[in-house]
Every structure is written in C-alpha cells, then in structure tokens.
Amino acid sequence: MKISVSNIAWHREKNRFEEFLEFLNKNNCDGIEIAPSIIWDEPIKISISEIQNFNKLIEKYNLDFVGFHSLLFTNPSLEFFKDQETRIKTINYIKDLINKCADLNGKKLVYGSPNSRKIGSKNYSDCVKQIIEDFNNIAEYAKKKNQIFCVEPLDKNTTEFISSFEEGGDIVRKVNHNFCKLHLDTKVLFGDNNIKKLIRKFSDIIEHVHVGDQDLCEPGKINYEYPEISSALNEINYSKYLTLEMRMQNDVENSILRSINFIKENFIENV
C-alpha cells in the first residue's frame, strides 16, 4: 500500500502549495490527492499554464498525483435527481473535471458530494435506476481519459443516497463498468459489526481508500476500528493508495506527520 495526503489537511494559502509538496517528499509520502477548489477558484477553468506549472511541481518533488476528491464542493446547486436540466449539468461538470484531472496526470476522481444525492420525495428504486445509467455514462467518458470514477458511500447522517458501504458496493456492481469503482472511506465503517465481511464482499471493486476519523479528525483520536480495517485490506491484498483525509488542524505539520506515521504503523508495517 502507498500513502498520499489530501490538501485539505494543509494551510489554505495558495502560495504555500509548493511547501506542501516539499513536506510530503521529505516525509516519504508517495503521492498527493487534491480537493481542487482549494487551489483553483473554478477547477474546470484551469489554464494551460496552470496545468504545466502543477505538473512541473509534482515532478520536481517526485510525487504521484493520485487525483481529485471533493468534486462538487463549490457547486451546491448540482444534483443528480433534482430535474433533468440539473442532472445533465451535474454529469457534464463531472466530465469537465475528468478532463482536467487527466490533463494534470491524475488517475482517479472520488465522488462523495452528499448534497448532489438528495432524493427528496422521489422513489428510491427510480433513483437507483437513474444513477446506474448516469454512473455508466460518466464511467464510459472516464474510460476515454483513462480515469477511474470512484463512488464514495457515506453514512445516513450525511446523505440520503448511497448511505452505507454495502449500498454503494451494490450500486457499483450494477453499474458493472471497469472505470467505475468503489471508494472506501474508513468513516463509513466505524461502528459496523461486519467490517471484514463487507471488505471481502467488495474486494474486487475497491479502488481507493481514505483514512480519517469522524468529522475529518486526525485518525486514531476518536475511532479505533483501524486494526480490523487494516487486517481486512491486507487479507484482500489491497495494494493501492491510502489517502489521509483530515481537515486542517491547529498544528498543521505535526498533525499530518502523526497521521502519516499512524497510517504506516496501522496499515503498512502491521502486515
């Protein structure tokens, strides 16, 4: 398994981005994952010069750009089930992000965005049928750009739809597309009595993992199911990225360093 860190854990000043890359390189991280709206006001409008500069910096610090998450954070009006016009806008915006992620030499995009999943009074079965069609549409486009669209299950307190790991896995199976895979965020499994069973059940479609405590807190400070999650991932021979997803703490550098060491100790060295 490899370690990356999301930029939501770092200082918000845009002029400190290179400092972040240097910090990751110095602390033996393999890659970086990006919430794009922290760097660019409108990610789908990134200029060619901005793309070139980003790519040069990633190469300079010998890091792997894993991809995007927090895809629709600055676009709360985008939803899949509101109406047909909004549905199309949402799909097209995600496709635009796929283009930019590819330009930046990324590999995957993690779709969480709970606000975009509101179903309101709509029939759940109808929403499942629609989202299978929509995710297949997105995945087929992602295939052209060699990007993987990763569906992130959240919890019932966060979203109305795809609100458990099992529900997310079942929907990704129904999409049945090589460029639509399942994302595992450790938070969605906290308190579940079937952690190992669920990870084994969806072992063939788990593409990416985020590590962090509830409310995007530092891992291991609140939740303690990590040994079981780690054991299950090792049992299925998961070897891809573990990304630290943690909001910025008061002691930014120290909290990230502690978290990197936590991931190494609990997921990689404890094999």
Q: How many domains does the chain have?
A: 1
Q: Among positive and negative, which fits the CA dihedral 197, 200, 206, 210?
A: positive
Can you tell me the mean pLDDT for 165-184?
98
- Contact residues for 66 (Cβ-Cβ < 8 A; gap 6+): 4, 31, 32, 33, 106, 107, 108, 208, 241, 243
Whether the CB-CB separation of 95 and 54 falls below 8 Å is answered with no
Q: Please state, in angstroms and rounded to a whole number, the distance separating the CA atoms of residues 231 and 237.
A: 10
- The model's pTM: 0.97
Express each pLDDT in 222-255 by its tens digit: 999 999 999 999 999 999 999 999 999 999 999 9
Residue 242's domain comprises 2-268
Q: What's the chain's average pLDDT?
A: 96
Whether the CB-CB separation of 28 and 61 falls below 8 Å is answered with no
Q: Among positive and negative, which fits the CA dihedral 19, 23, 29, 35?
A: negative
Can you tell me the mean pLDDT for 156-177?
97
* pLDDT band per the 50, 70, 90 thresholds, residue 120: confident
Q: Please state, in angstroms and rounded to a whole number, the distance separating the CA atoms of residues 231 and 110.
A: 23
β-partners of residue 108 are 67, 148
pLDDT reading at 258 higher than 80: yes
Q: Please state, in angstroms and rounded to a whole number, the distance separating the CA atoms of residues 13 and 251.
A: 15
pLDDT at res. 40: 95
pLDDT reading at 186 higher than 70: yes
Residue 112: φ, ψ to 5°: -110, -80
Q: Please state, in angstroms and rounded to a whole number, the distance separating the CA atoms of residues 27 and 251.
A: 16
The CATH code of the domain that includes 204 is 3.20.20.150
Question: Looking at residue 149, what DSSP letter applies?
Answer: E
Whether the CB-CB separation of 156 and 187 falls below 8 Å is answered with no
pLDDT at res. 271: 52
Which ranges constitute the DSSP H helices of the chain?
Answer: 17-26, 48-60, 84-103, 124-144, 165-175, 195-201, 226-235, 252-263
